[in-house]
Structure 1
């Protein structure tokens, strides 16, 4: 039985974030292939963390800047090590390479952090995003991490194109793997609340993620007043894990702008709403909130950033638009027009069926992993930049870590 070690940047919280859902999809995919699995992380376990031991995954607390990890990983002797985001690879990649040189190293990027950071900076400066914002210090670290790994999982086709065409990374180091969803049962779709049975608007997102707070602030100041002017009795119900005081300060019952905090059940929240609003101003990757909306038959009005990589050549489950006035007008149209609402709902179901079914992606991924396990020495020979970066750049991380360990002793 093959041994897989996942080094988590955080504990997976599938009910709180898209990243948590993504990690659980990967875990279940490898479990279905009878991998023996260990999840190790240096972060404290949260109340919202998934109970991994309940599905047969061994959990292990590890320390940063400690040789205890070296002992642990050498004894475990995994066939595969999967890093959750490049930050985990920076901390532990050199240790894995030293102690388990024959282990296949896989990076799950979740999304491109450098893209999100560059867009955020452009937004703060009030300028159009271009490559001068993309080539930031985070990009240097993130792209180096991709090169040091044997394979990187990329969640968005847009980011695949960016990595191959802009950063010129060889396609053999990258693997497109979107969200992995179970087949949608027709009976489930037929049982969803109808247009007449729903009311109000919804927006949702983990508030620890800066783009989500920015989105809610943009809704509050620029978009919701325009919607409310046309629909004076409508409400916007805003849900999300880890809301801070500055989030709750946006709550205003007179304006129908309601901060609800953590969603008890995302499906219930989405099914009760008529329209989901997703005016993200910056970000990267795929948006789990759009997946949740489509699964529950809730049409969306979204920004181009929110829709990026989601629909391919298919029509969206609603409207994609940028300016506040257009966004508000389209939201009101979708809210009032039963025919267009139902058409948008069906387009969402079609997108899920054609682009995110686990059955399309799971076995090809496993076949790629098996192929790499058999041809790893040759694969690494063809990635000289990766071996060079592992030799040079990781030495600074290595010796800084050893210095911190000695200092803490």
Structure 2
């Protein structure tokens, strides 16, 4: 006798389907459920189903829903389930089916767990369930920490751990570009690099696409957890910025006893803060600068090597720790000279993130002091001044709106678009520290940069670039007008800037300096 029907769904809870005897279409079919050749239960195909009526399967009362009894299915092995007609053993179409072991975390298992956890329970049972779940979470997190690619046994390369406040982003700041460049340098030197941000969040897609392993939530709760779980795993630990070094240097020594500890200053925060205190006449900032100085020098003394980008800051550090432990390591900058001819460009640009106080003060100084000096020299609105950068405050936009020729551009996704418009850039910083990314970016675009001494500090600019440094509104205006109107001078400075970038910020030089800081591979 022909048997019509189908097994529609199989899970670890139940098997659902329908069956109809063609010889006796209005009768009820008795079924037996078989697991790996063993009968585990019986049921009747007598449940009403509207879809069967719509499909022309008689009165539609041919459905079945069999719930597996406890112990009917093996937990840790695959099994084969078939539904047969009781008596002659005719197989319901659609079976047999294979059921994966319970170790497969499929939708069915997730559903069963959700149902079990949703049941109302007393406080004691809730605490037991929570303790169980927390234990399993820890087990999974440890498994993620120990997975292939994370352990020394699965990769013969020495491992380097880089710790910073956040994951770097190339569009955010010069500090991000610097640490990204140095991570890639470590990779070229033969290290397998892991990155752990203090906040444990962020988009790791770009870093991981370049082969950098990222330690993030929920797999890790803190940097401390990363260090403890991977105790003894790293040959080098790079702590970027003073806050990071202050928090984790001792724990690195405790958990990574054979690792080389490298401290990257980014810039000397105490130097920048002291200069701001002097400019603003603030005793409170001066006291805070002294505190930062203590922290930064303590971090430097506690490290095996200290990285700075600035030759000026290297001299300061070298006065307090052995000079051989201080390393000037630039970050890589690719030359991307503008293809737009001099005659098709006009004006100047200032670039900076305005959430950084020195940049905001520089922009205000440019508008309030340098632009009027340009106007007095006959430039006026004929010399466009573009203000580019993120987090531009409304008061700066309002001030720019009433100054002829000043255009508040705001954030620019690609600085090449900005440099294609102008003949020069300007960096009129009154104070700051470290190497200024805005200056390097401009030189790499073949766009000369007029700087204050604070903006040029630590770069050791050669002539004729050194001649573009001035410390007064009149001196800055004179250099701006000369570069803007004298094509030969502009070309000479552009060529010198590109040659400087190739010489000082190429990958080869970065790697050589990083190798000295990292020491011999361990």
TM-score scaled to structure 2, two decimals? 0.64
**Deviation of the 1:202 alpha carbon:** 0.4
Q: String of CA shifts for 1:112-135, please: whole Å, max 9, x gaps.
A: 1111111111111299xxxx9997
Q: How far apart, in 2, do the equivalents of 1:292 and 1:246 lie?
A: 27
Q: How many residues align?
A: 359
Maintained 8 Å contact 1:317/1:347: no
**Deviation of the 1:242 alpha carbon:** 2.4
Structure with a larger share of its residues in helix? 1
> What residue number does 2:80 align with?
none
Mind listing any 5+ residue stretches in structure 1 that lack a counterpart? Answer: 375-409
**CA distance 1:370–1:301, change in 2 (3 Å):** closer
**CA distance 1:42–1:367, change in 2 (3 Å):** closer
> What residue number does 1:393 align with?
none
TM-score scaled to structure 1, two decimals? 0.81
Maintained 8 Å contact 1:155/1:178: yes
> What residue number does 1:328 align with?
477
> What residue number does 2:518 align with?
369
1:138 aligned onto 2:292: yes
1:213 aligned onto 2:367: no
1:109 aligned onto 2:257: no
> What residue number does 1:390 align with?
none
**CA distance 1:271–1:310, change in 2 (3 Å):** farther
> What residue number does 2:209 align with?
54
> What residue number does 2:47 align with?
none
What is the 5 A alignment of 1:83-102? 83-102=239-258
What is the 5 A alignment of 1:28-47? 28-43=184-199, 45=201
Q: How far apart, in 2, do the equivalents of 1:323 and 1:220 lie?
A: 14
> What residue number does 1:160 align with?
314
1:256 aligned onto 2:405: yes
**CA distance 1:50–1:160, change in 2 (3 Å):** farther
Structure with a larger share of its residues in strand? 2
Q: String of CA shifts for 1:298-338, please: whole Å, max 9, x gaps.
A: 11211011111213454317610011122112211211111
What is the 5 A alignment of 1:163-202? 163-165=317-319, 168-182=320-334, 184=335, 189=337, 192-202=339-349
Q: How far apart, in 2, do the equivalents of 1:25 and 1:103 lie?
A: 21
Q: Which has the larger radius of gyration?
A: 2
> What residue number does 2:96 align with?
none
Q: CA RMSD in A?
A: 2.6
Q: How far apart, in 1, do the equivalents of 2:304 and 2:419 lie?
A: 39
Q: How far apart, in 2, do the equivalents of 1:323 and 1:108 lie?
A: 33
1:297 aligned onto 2:446: yes
Maintained 8 Å contact 1:267/1:292: no
Maintained 8 Å contact 1:42/1:61: no
Q: How far apart, in 2, do the equivalents of 1:205 and 1:323 lie?
A: 20
Please give the secondary structure, in 2, of the residue aligned with 1:258: strand
What is the 5 A alignment of 1:368-407? 368-371=517-520
> What residue number does 2:171 align with?
15
Q: String of CA shifts for 1:67-88, please: whole Å, max 9, x gaps.
A: 9544421332222111111110
**Deviation of the 1:174 alpha carbon:** 1.1
**CA distance 1:325–1:58, change in 2 (3 Å):** same
Q: How far apart, in 2, do the equivalents of 1:212 and 1:257 lie?
A: 16
Q: String of CA shifts for 1:87-143, please: whole Å, max 9, x gaps.
A: 10111222222222222111111111111111111111299xxxx999711100000
Aligned with 1:344 (options 468, 493, 505): 493
Q: How far apart, in 1, do the equivalents of 2:414 and 2:221 lie?
A: 41
Please give the secondary structure, in 2, of the residue aligned with 1:345: helix
Maintained 8 Å contact 2:201/2:216: no
> What residue number does 1:407 align with?
none
> What residue number does 1:231 align with?
379
Q: String of CA shifts for 1:175-221, please: whole Å, max 9, x gaps.
A: 11123335x5xxx64x6222112112100011221111110011111
**CA distance 1:45–1:68, change in 2 (3 Å):** closer
**Deviation of the 1:44 alpha carbon:** 6.6
**CA distance 1:276–1:7, change in 2 (3 Å):** same
